[in-house]
Structure 1
Amino acid sequence: MGAEAQMVELVIEALDRDGAGLASLGRDRYRVHGTLPGERVRVREVRRRRRRVEGQVVEVLQPAPQRVEAPCPHYGPCGGCSLQHLAYDGQLAFKGRQVQEALARAGVEGPIAPVLGMEEPWGYRNKLELTFGRASDGTPFLGFHRRGRWQEVVPARGCLLAPGGLLAAVPIVERWAAAQGLEPYDPRTHAGFLRALILREGRATGQRMVALVTSPAPELPDQEGLVAALRQGVAGLASLLWVVDDSPSDALTVSQVHRLWGKEAIEEELGGRRYRIGVESFFQTNTQQAERLLATALALAEPGPADRVLDLFCGVGTFSLPLAERAAQVIGIEWVEEAVEHARRLAREAGLTNARFLAGPVRLLLPEAVAQLGGVELILLDPPRSGAGGKVMRKIGRARPQRVVYVSCNPQTLGDDLTHLLPFGYRVSQVQPLDLFPHTPHVETVVRLDRIEAAG
């Protein structure tokens, strides 16, 4: 708003689902990151669309009791976290309210347990993706996107969500890039070579991956020097890759992967199994809480030795394989063919002949899978943030399983999806939220539903 920007005093009333404070002043509705309910704050207007105003907090005049000093030096400008200023028990309460309110809005009733948090909610991420930016003197550097301005990059001089040592590659790559005179990629002009740096770690195995992402080029400048420096400077390095991205978009698109040193993938353990993780592989970024999520889902599912089970949106079989150890038959369905092949390989290695996997859309393959099983007692689903959708949920209802376990990463789509299943004669028996992403507004939820026999 430039010269027209004005300062106002507000009392924050609530947090929205992204963790931003909400306040009203007359007919205007303000949204301000970095604030908490009950606080009186001085705010600068940054952007206005009619009566909806984005504000930037200038001063906290009256802090909330649960306000804490954010320990990260990049907090605020960096778009990675939005709740570091809220004490951790307050974060868990906020996430619990998100689940409660989303289910209430959908008209879904059921007992909601307290959120399962972390004893140590720092250093939990096993994957980081950093973007190249350009300093005022033209020197390339690595960092994270600035909040609200995705074309700008905040330098990453440490990240408190990353385990110690995972960022060791950053200064090495920055020095190499500066010495070679390489240009960061500009998504507006599509010029430049350096795009991103992906860092992955197997928390249980100690294996680390460094993947440099660039625009296409016939060769990588001073490849031998870069490899030598990273091998010396990154403890546990097991995979060093050069990834070529030929897309004009700022989002990562892998067109080629060149192995510079080590293996093409690292390994991680979850639920007693080893998973192969490539540069593009999906894997929960918080291994410790992923273990709790797996244990919670299995406990709520209560698979029995005679059960026929469907695992929808099964990925690499994270839930399918332990279910197969406890049930008679399991079929997993997943759209991504690579993930299905990985799941099949893991099942063969484990000697699980009662686990099968189908590649394709869940809504199309679900009836076929039920027919193959000759009926189903248990259905577990772990859909993406967009949810499973009404068609899938109604097909689940028509399959008439005794139990349904829904693993959700989005309370809003969870509530919407459950409204399509409940009319088929189901009730919510248990709701267990988990915190997989401390200091962010995201919350995972596991819901068990049981078929009411009288309804059938």
Structure 2
Amino acid sequence: MSAAPFPTVELCAQDGAAQADALPEGWLRVESMDLDAQGVARRPDGKVVFIDGALPSELVSTYPLRKKNHWEQAGLIAIHRESSQRVRPGCPHFGLHTGACGGCKMQHLHMGAQVAVKQRVLEDNLWHLGKVRAEMLLRPIEGPAWGYRYRARLSVRHVFKKGTVLVGFHERKSHYVADMAHCPVLPPHVDALLMPLRALIAALDARDTCPQIELACGDRVTALVLRHLAPLSADDMGRLRAFAAGHGVQWWLQPKGPDTVQPLDADGEPLAYALPDFGISMPFRPTDFTQVNPHINRVLVARALRLLDVQAHERVIDWFCGLGNFTLPLATQAREVLGVEGSAALVARCHENYALNRGAAQNRRALAATRFVARNLFEMTPATLVADGAADKWLLDPPREGALALVRALADIEQSRIGAEGAAPLPAGAEGWTPPGRIVYVSCNPATLARDAGLLVHLAGYRCVAAGMVNMFPHTAHVESMAVFQRG
């Protein structure tokens, strides 16, 4: 790649003057960074400017990209004073140039500063959206900065005019597929597959009808799910098998929706990841939801359970339980566990994983009585909440939409109990129902966490006793976080 990842730094004699309040005409001082990893500055008239590629404390010149009444987006012309946190990107495909990969947004920012930005995003969201301040900030959970991405969706495009096949992420702010030869956030053995995959797809009869390859890595197995819009020929099947044998991967085929995914050959070793702190093994299918970063996931599960502080006599509910990533570790500590999930297919997988781990429980405590149910958690009401029974503690791990219906049902019960104006009557059976004493909320969206935290604190009778960010996706603007709520 010949293009620089960002405009060449332009240092000049005016730097001294730039330290003062009055900047040279056209220069901007970057004050902060937003959730999309854009630098944020203000023009002299107070108008907010979002600047791709700019970092806090930098002095920059820009050109307009999009203008609104109160804000505008701008591109970089030059950086007149660099941030001390600016670093050389670790990937040749990262940057603002035409054709740059859009998979990462923060490779130009030092990793410690990335973590600090995400922590600030979490704190700002909690306060501005939920009017909540955590009583204690948890130390950020960090892990490897490179080679961490065990889940990925790679786009495939046969570019007829160029006579080549592209396999990778989309270009920055584009629907085109980036011309990638390497991707250092993928595990090294998958990074090494990018060019062989391009050659493989180019050799297929179906190269024009294969738009996507989904990656799923377990501890021992790497699975590739090929989306194909037309039936594959016998020759193509043979090419896939030869590639799998030569590169040590499994092929799965997806002719239509996710429920049609099947292995190319049925005798392969199953995908699985381990949670060694709890003696748990978690088999999964390549289209099941699992965390992108297994290194962080192990620490995340351990911290969540430590903060929940489950005792051997307690009943716990794991809402949005998925495969049982938290449920099965909870079953090593609690008296009884209920896992609730919206997908019936995932609930069936939970039952299988529970049976597998219960049968393998040797030289350690047997798993507690655990039940799994499928329920639409976005339609929870006080009545359905009470019907699930009281629990001493809750663990929540919702998708980006958050847990609004669940938290609102809890808040409605509390408002009914205290006789708040306009509150609905208590549902049948709620007289003996008690709310959980502690809730640990694992979030992949700080905005919906903040919204739900506001309900828990201001309407449901909880305190936010701790919160902290989890750097699940280094070099991206994605903010994973965790908060702890204590009753009373």
The answer to whether the superposition gives a TM-score over 0.5 is yes
- Name the stretch that deviates more: 79-88 or 393-402: 393-402
Shift of 1:444: 2.1
CA–CA separation in structure 2 for the residues paired with 1:220 and 1:365: 53
In the alignment, which of 175, 181, 194 is matched to residue 157 of structure 1? 181
Shift of 1:194: 2.0
- Give 2:209's aligned residue: 193
Quick check: 1:219 aligned with 2:237? no
Amino acid at match of 1:409: C
Amino acid at match of 1:445: S
In the alignment, which of 172, 176, 199 is matched to residue 175 of structure 1? 199
Amino acid at match of 1:17: L
- Give 1:400's aligned residue: 435
- Give 1:355's aligned residue: 370
Question: Residues 445 and 367 from structure 1, CA distance in 2 versus in 1: closer, same or farther, beyond 3 angstroms?
Answer: farther
CA–CA separation in structure 1 for the residues paired with 2:328 and 2:385: 17
Question: Residues 50 and 365 from structure 1, CA distance in 2 versus in 1: closer, same or farther, beyond 3 angstroms?
Answer: closer
Question: Residues 368 and 331 from structure 1, CA distance in 2 versus in 1: closer, same or farther, beyond 3 angstroms?
Answer: farther
- Give 2:272's aligned residue: 267
CA–CA separation in structure 1 for the residues paired with 2:269 and 2:214: 13
CA–CA separation in structure 1 for the residues paired with 2:485 and 2:243: 53
Quick check: 1:243 aligned with 2:268? no
Amino acid at match of 2:176: E
- Give 1:431's aligned residue: 467
Amino acid at match of 1:69: R
Shift of 1:417: 0.4
Between structure 1 and structure 2, the one with the greater Rg is 2
- Give 2:399's aligned residue: 384
Q: How does 1:107-186 map to 2 (within 5 A)?
A: 107-135=131-159, 136-149=161-174, 151-180=175-204, 182-183=206-207
In the alignment, which of 222, 232, 236 is matched to residue 208 of structure 1? 222
Shift of 1:217: 2.5
Quick check: 1:323 aligned with 2:342? no
Q: Is contact 1:241-1:259 (8 Å) kept? A: yes
Q: Is contact 2:51-2:75 (8 Å) kept? A: yes
% same residue: 29
Shift of 1:167: 2.9
CA–CA separation in structure 1 for the residues paired with 2:48 and 2:263: 52
Q: Is contact 1:103-1:412 (8 Å) kept? A: yes
Question: Residues 91 and 332 from structure 1, CA distance in 2 versus in 1: closer, same or farther, beyond 3 angstroms?
Answer: same
- Give 2:258's aligned residue: 254
Amino acid at match of 1:224: G
Amino acid at match of 2:258: V
- Give 2:30's aligned residue: 12
Shift of 1:168: 3.3
Per-residue deviation, residues 151-173 of structure 1 (Å, max 9, x unmatched): 21112211111111113333223
Shift of 1:413: 1.0
Shift of 1:53: 2.8
Q: Is contact 1:240-1:263 (8 Å) kept? A: no
Q: Is contact 1:301-1:403 (8 Å) kept? A: yes
CA–CA separation in structure 2 for the residues paired with 1:176 and 1:424: 56
Shift of 1:13: 1.9
In the alignment, which of 293, 298, 307 is matched to residue 291 of structure 1? 298
Q: Is contact 1:131-1:142 (8 Å) kept? A: yes
- Give 2:422's aligned residue: none
CA–CA separation in structure 2 for the residues paired with 1:353 and 1:335: 22
Shift of 1:319: 1.3
Amino acid at match of 1:18: D
Shift of 1:382: 0.9
Shift of 1:371: 4.0
Shift of 1:303: 0.7
Per-residue deviation, residues 362-405 of structure 1 (Å, max 9, x unmatched): 243875565454x221111111111111x311333434211111
Question: Residues 281 and 270 from structure 1, CA distance in 2 versus in 1: closer, same or farther, beyond 3 angstroms?
Answer: same
* Normalised TM-score (structure 1): 0.86
Question: Residues 347 and 117 from structure 1, CA distance in 2 versus in 1: closer, same or farther, beyond 3 angstroms?
Answer: closer
In the alignment, which of 46, 62, 68 is matched to residue 43 of structure 1? 62
What RMSD over aligned residues (CA atoms) do the two structures have, in Å? Answer: 2.4
Per-residue deviation, residues 101-145 of structure 1 (Å, max 9, x unmatched): 111112112234254243531111112221123445232221211
Per-residue deviation, residues 225-258 of structure 1 (Å, max 9, x unmatched): 23213321x24x2x2122224xxxxxxx436334
Give the match's secondary structure for 2:67.
strand
Question: Residues 228 and 242 from structure 1, CA distance in 2 versus in 1: closer, same or farther, beyond 3 angstroms?
Answer: same
Amino acid at match of 1:210: L
In the alignment, which of 402, 405, 410 is matched to residue 445 of structure 2? 410
CA–CA separation in structure 2 for the residues paired with 1:131 and 1:327: 43
Question: Residues 255 and 368 from structure 1, CA distance in 2 versus in 1: closer, same or farther, beyond 3 angstroms?
Answer: closer
Q: Is contact 2:333-2:368 (8 Å) kept? A: no
Q: Is contact 2:143-2:295 (8 Å) kept? A: no
- Give 2:364's aligned residue: none
Per-residue deviation, residues 340-372 of structure 1 (Å, max 9, x unmatched): 111112222333461101101124387556545
Quick check: 1:31 aligned with 2:31? no
- Give 1:83's aligned residue: 106
Quick check: 1:346 aligned with 2:353? yes
- Give 1:21's aligned residue: 39
- Give 1:250's aligned residue: none
Count the aligned residue pairs: 423
CA–CA separation in structure 2 for the residues paired with 1:125 and 1:73: 18
CA–CA separation in structure 2 for the residues paired with 1:345 and 1:181: 38
Quick check: 1:228 aligned with 2:242? yes
CA–CA separation in structure 2 for the residues paired with 1:313 and 1:265: 24
- Name the stretch that deviates more: 408-417 or 348-357: 348-357
